[in-house]
């Protein structure tokens, strides 16, 4: 445990408490999302676990309630692979809650075989990028009304291998499961930067995050990755350690000056040249709006 501790630098040391605050964490029934939600609940927030599988979510909510003593841990159905489900989640949330202070866009799929979402989007770009893009868009007014508020987008170091090919956004010409994941994680960073530019002065700030290499269920679709993860399981982060940078971005006081930045190990991190391309970020925003039927402004 001592070696593991030394290997995993980056601990969120914020002492901020969250009574009266409301948070939504997507994909909160496993891995990094579950640990992120647990810590937010520990600090007193009302936490919505936005999960595809409500039954699994309820078990986790109960576990968090018992561990933290916070009964305000709620489960709501959210399938990011279906825009109807995203719209239904947002509609109910907006009717139910007066505020939203922290939105953690954490859910993700990695290296799944070629498949499509209910709306015909390739699964990686559909869930990891477009699903969260729509969710954020639908919750934006609430975030603004609740300012200061924050949006944290969980991306990955894998974005370095990503490219946004607008002619092949849905893998219609060429598909590689590993690269499709990388492209979607690059899209997370471009989205964060464009959102930050658009939200300047609104009191809502946004950050993208690489959580580290984390022992979670993310590698479920790849036998090879499962094997590598198992081999190195002692050296890679636990989900609790993997949650630290998301928590750092959600909680650290004064981080607003770094609006739009990318973080790893609780520090600002370097992103690839593609991830700094404002033209691509703007075009991706417009194309995403177009695909989702959101009026482009
Ligand atoms: N584990 C790592 O090493 C690593 C590295 C870099 C980035 N990440 C990122 O961290 C985030 C969390 O991953 P994790 O490692 O905890 O993996 P995980 O598989 O344990 O968690 C992913 C969560 O997303 C949910 N999800 C998947 N599809 C969904 C859908 N259609 N609708 C709603 N929820 C859905 C899953 O149910 C699960 O709860 C992901 O965005 C991933 O890309 C992980």
> What is the chain's pLDDT, residue by residue, as a tens digit (297 residues)?
444 444 446 899 999 999 999 999 999 999 999 999 999 999 999 999 999 999 999 999 999 999 999 999 999 999 999 999 999 999 999 999 999 999 999 999 999 999 999 999 999 999 999 999 999 999 999 999 999 999 999 999 999 999 999 999 999 999 999 999 999 999 999 999 999 999 999 999 999 999 999 988 877 777 787 777 777 777 789 999 999 999 999 999 999 999 999 999 999 999 999 999 999 999 999 999 999 999 987
Nearest residue (CA) to ligand 1, atom 40: 108
Query: How far is 28 from 42, CA to CA, in rounded Å?
Result: 15
Query: How far is 111 from 180, CA to CA, in rounded Å?
Result: 7
Nearest residue (CA) to ligand 1, atom 43: 108
Structure tokens belonging to residue 201:
């002065």
Say which residue the tokens 């709006």 belong to.
289
Cα(297) to ligand 1 centroid in Å equals 31
Cα(99) to ligand 1 centroid in Å equals 25
Cα(217) to ligand 1 centroid in Å equals 8
* Predicted pLDDT of residue 180: 97
Query: How far is 225 from 228, CA to CA, in rounded Å?
Result: 5
Cis peptide before 75, with omega less than 30 degrees from 0? no
* Predicted pLDDT of residue 231: 75
Pocket of ligand 1 (CB under 6 A): 26-27, 29-33, 52, 78-81, 106-110, 127, 154, 156, 210-211, 213-214, 216-218
* Predicted pLDDT of residue 9: 62
Cα(27) to ligand 1 centroid in Å equals 6
Is the distance from CB of 164 to CB of 280 less than 8 angstroms?
yes
On whether the pTM is more than 0.90, the answer is yes
Nearest residue (CA) to ligand 1, atom 7: 156
Nearest residue (CA) to ligand 1, atom 6: 156
* Predicted pLDDT of residue 196: 98
Catalytic residues: 181
Is the distance from CB of 46 to CB of 255 less than 8 angstroms?
no
Test site for ligand 1: of 10, 216, 233, most ligand atoms within 8 A of the Cβ: 216
Q: Which residues contact 236 (CB under 8 A, 6 or more apart)?
A: 212, 213, 214, 215, 229
Nearest residue (CA) to ligand 1, atom 5: 213
Adjacent-strand bridge partners of 173: none
Test site for ligand 1: of 104, 211, 213, 239, most ligand atoms within 8 A of the Cβ: 211
ipTM greater than cut 0.90: yes
Structure tokens belonging to residue 95:
């009717």
Could you identify the atom of ligand 1 that is nearest to the CA of residue 29?
A: 39
Adjacent-strand bridge partners of 51: 77
């Amino acid at each position: 445990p001592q070696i593991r501790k030394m290997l995993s630098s980056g601990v969120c040391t914020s002492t901020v408490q969250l009574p009266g605050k409301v948070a939504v964490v997507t994909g909160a029934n496993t891995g990094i999302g579950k640990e992120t939600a647990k810590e937010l609940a520990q600090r007193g927030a009302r936490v919505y676990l936005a999960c595809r599988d409500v039954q699994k979510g309820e078990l986790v909510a109960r576990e968090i309630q018992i561990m933290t003593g916070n009964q305000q841990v709620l489960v709501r159905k959210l399938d990011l692979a279906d825009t109807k489900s995203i719209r239904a989640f947002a509609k109910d949330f907006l009717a139910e809650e007066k505020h939203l202070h922290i939105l953690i866009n954490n859910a993700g799929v990695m290296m799944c075989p070629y498949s499509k979402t209910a709306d015909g989007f390739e699964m990686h770009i559909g869930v990891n990028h477009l699903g969260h893009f729509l969710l954020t868009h639908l919750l934006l007014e609430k975030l603004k009304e609740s300012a200061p508020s924050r949006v944290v987008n969980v991306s990955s170091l894998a974005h370095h291998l990503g490219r946004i090919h607008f002619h092949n956004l849905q893998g219609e010409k060429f598909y590689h499961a590993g690269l499709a994941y990388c492209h979607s994680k690059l899209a997370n960073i471009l989205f964060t930067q464009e959102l930050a530019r658009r939200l300047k002065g609104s009191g809502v700030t946004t950050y993208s995050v690489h959580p580290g290499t984390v022992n979670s269920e993310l590698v479920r679709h790849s036998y090879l990755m499962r094997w590598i993860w198992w081999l190195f399981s002692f050296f890679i982060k636990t989900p609790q350690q993997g949650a630290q940078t998301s928590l750092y971005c959600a909680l650290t006081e004064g981080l607003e000056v770094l609006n739009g930045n990318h973080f790893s190990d609780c520090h600002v991190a370097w992103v690839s040249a593609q991830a700094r391309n404002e033209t691509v970020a703007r075009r991706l925003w417009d194309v995403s709006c177009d695909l989702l039927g959101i009026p482009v402004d």
